[in-house]
Amino acid sequence: MSNPVYLALDVPQLDAAKALVEKVKGHVGGVKLGLEFFCAHGTHGVHEIAHLGLPIFLDLKLHDIPNTVAGAMQSLHVVEPAIMTVHASGGRAMMEDAKAAAGENTRVVAVTMLTSLDERDLERTGVQGTPHDHVMRLAELAQDSGLDGIVCSGQEVKSVHKQWKDGFFVVPGLRPGGKATGDQKRVVTPRQARDDGASVLVIGRPISRADDPLQAAREIEATL
């Protein structure tokens, strides 16, 4: 893709979301819609954003029994997302069924470890080892399950890319140099993530909450 930046549209009001996309769409390659947006606006809201002409990454992080996830994927054919997420921790059968039920033009990627988590958080949930080890294990499971790729932080994407040469890698939690990290714990710059093998760069607050979103999008694009 010519521009790997997907704007994370963390704007709950539909009119404001559409206005933001219209403002920056010449300097981003797609739009990521997450739980907050989908719960507020449903498939209608997805269609409204899609009509603005950019690919849609529907980031719902599905995680349930295989039959339920497959049914949810089939229900989302109506919005034809370019990218869709499930949780790798849902297991191989769930991921296989999710991919089988997805639309023909939808890439299904597995969320490995949220960028808001660190090693201490893993320990508290009973997972032993480093975040890097955990992500690598789940990446291998996703690959074996036939998915298109994974979601991981920029700190792991280089290693995953070496292991999975033709994988599709989505990297969130990115912060341009000098910007506040907020609730993100494992962050890198967009340029570093791209150099290390990221296919898609998910960037939200550094654009959406900037004083001048258009200028912020332009500055990020210029680094890539």
Q: Is 185 an active-site residue?
A: no
**What residues contact residue 5 under an 8 Å CB cut-off, 6+ apart?**
27, 28, 29, 30, 190, 201, 203, 217, 220, 221, 224
Beta-bridged to residue 111, according to DSSP, are 87, 151
Residue 137 tokens read as 């294990």
Contact 187, 153 (CB under 8 A): yes
The alpha carbon dihedral of 36, 116, 180, 216 has a sign of negative
Is residue 217 a contact partner of residue 20, using CB atoms and an 8 Å limit?
no
Are the beta carbons of 131 and 123 closer than 8 angstroms?
Answer: no
Catalytic, out of 61, 99, 162, 179: 61
Alpha-carbon span 10 to 209, nearest angstrom? 9
- 106 sits in the region (left: phi over 0; alpha: psi -120 to 50; else beta) called beta
DSSP E strand boundaries for 23-103 = 30-33, 56-62, 83-87
Residues designated as active site = 61
